[in-house]
């Protein structure tokens, strides 16, 4: 081996050394963060899922379907804000901020208010349970988990994966929060949640249940159309695709001599449930085509 060959060999060894060192660094880096990356991916999958409801709301708005748009925005907002408030609570419990309000920083920080945006979403109960679990308040957590599980929209085999939130370090929680607040800002730019005094209840996801409450209120007081309407409107809010909910609202408004509102519900109902027999019959009567 002459001098030139030695020099070339030495240079090759140096280059190989650099490559090997880089590979080791990459592998080490992956090994350290592999588990946490999975947690981030899980949370991001859910954020993407919730985002689709927001996009659906935009589509409904474009199509002039206001009630359905409110439903989709509300579902997205209730789920996203619940997740963000959960992250805020975890950050606070992990030592961030002097008070929880500091961490929440003026955003929604009340489980009832968040859930009221759309009772069809099971996630406010679930995340509320998660915070209780983190604080080892097992009985409270169990109660909330049960309330989430009653809602058929909740998928225990998949949704339990969101427990990764309680394993995330502060920097990752902050990263998740950043994504969530960005999405919240986008949603609340187009969606102004209406303040409702309808009390939170674990069965409120079910429009059938809410329609039954309306009937119960009429049984209790046959002229209490306002209360019955309150329940029917709640039913419509959690399922604006069911003609029966539109029928309930229309009939109550009719009995209260609010014909224009009755017409509104009949029209909107027929638009999303064009084959609904009751709505079609009401429409026929309204159009004066039936005079039994």
Q: Which residues contact 252 (CB under 8 A, 6 or more apart)?
A: 214, 225, 226, 228, 229, 232
107 vs 209, beta carbon nearer another protein = 209
CA-wise closest residue to 225 among 251, 259, 244: 251
119 binds another protein (CB under 8 A): no
Tell me if 100 contacts another protein by CB under 8 A: no
CB of 247 to another protein, least distance (A): 5
63, 79 in Cβ contact below 8 A? Answer: no
Number of residues that this document lists for the chain: 292
Residue from 101, 105, 112, 160 that binds another protein (CB under 8 A)? 160
166 CB neighbour count, 10 Å cutoff: 16
75 touches another protein by CB under 8 A: yes
Binding to another protein (CB under 8 A): which residues in 219-258?
A: 219, 222-223, 225, 241-244, 247-248, 251, 254-255, 257
How far is the C-alpha of 170 from the C-alpha of 26, rounded, in Å? 23
**Number of helices followed by number of strands (H, E) in the chain:** 13, 0
The site map against another protein for 179-208 (x = CB under 8 A) is: -----------------------xx--x-x
CB of 287 to another protein, least distance (A): 7
Residue of 279, 285, 224 lying closest to 248 (CA atoms): 279
* In the complex, minimum distance from the CB of residue 188 to another protein, in angstroms, rounded to a whole number: 20
Nearest distance in Å: CB 28, another protein: 18
Q: How far, in Å, CA of 210 to CA of 243, rounded?
A: 14
Q: Is residue 58 part of the contact set for another protein (CB under 8 A)?
A: no
Q: Determine, following the binding rule CB under 8 A, whether residue 166 of this chain makes contact with another protein.
A: yes
Query: Rule CB under 8 A: is residue 30 a binding residue for another protein?
Result: no
Please tell me whether residue 95 binds another protein under the rule CB under 8 A: no
């Amino acid at each position: 081996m002459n001098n030139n060959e030695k020099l070339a060999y030495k240079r090759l060894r140096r280059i190989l050394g650099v490559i090997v060192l880089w590979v080791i660094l990459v592998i080490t880096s992956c090994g350290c963060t592999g588990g946490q990356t999975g947690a981030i991916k899980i949370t991001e999958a859910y954020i993407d899922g919730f985002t689709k409801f927001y996009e659906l709301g935009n589509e409904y708005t474009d199509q002039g379907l206001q009630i359905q748009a409110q439903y989709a925005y509300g579902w997205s907002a209730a789920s996203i804000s619940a997740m963000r408030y959960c992250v805020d609570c975890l950050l606070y419990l992990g030592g961030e901020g002097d008070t929880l309000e500091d961490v929440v920083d003026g955003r929604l920080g009340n489980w009832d208010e968040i859930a009221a945006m759309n009772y069809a979403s099971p996630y406010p109960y679930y995340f509320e349970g998660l915070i209780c679990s983190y604080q080892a308040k097992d009985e409270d957590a169990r109660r909330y988990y049960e309330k989430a599980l009653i809602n058929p929209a909740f998928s225990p085999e998949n949704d339990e994966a969101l427990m990764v939130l309680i394993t995330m370090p502060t920097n990752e929680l902050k990263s998740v929060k950043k994504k969530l607040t960005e999405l919240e800002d986008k949603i609340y730019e187009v969606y102004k949640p209406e303040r409702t005094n309808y009390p939170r209840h674990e069965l409120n996801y079910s429009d059938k249940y809410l329609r039954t409450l309306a009937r119960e209120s009429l049984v209790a007081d046959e002229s209490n159309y306002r209360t019955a309407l309150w329940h029917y409107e709640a039913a419509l809010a959690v399922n604006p695709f069911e003609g029966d909910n539109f029928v309930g609202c229309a009939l109550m408004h009719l009995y209260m001599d609010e014909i224009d509102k009755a017409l509104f519900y009949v029209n909107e109902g027929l638009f999303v449930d064009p084959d609904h027999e009751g709505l079609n019959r009401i429409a026929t009567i309204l159009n004066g085509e039936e005079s039994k």
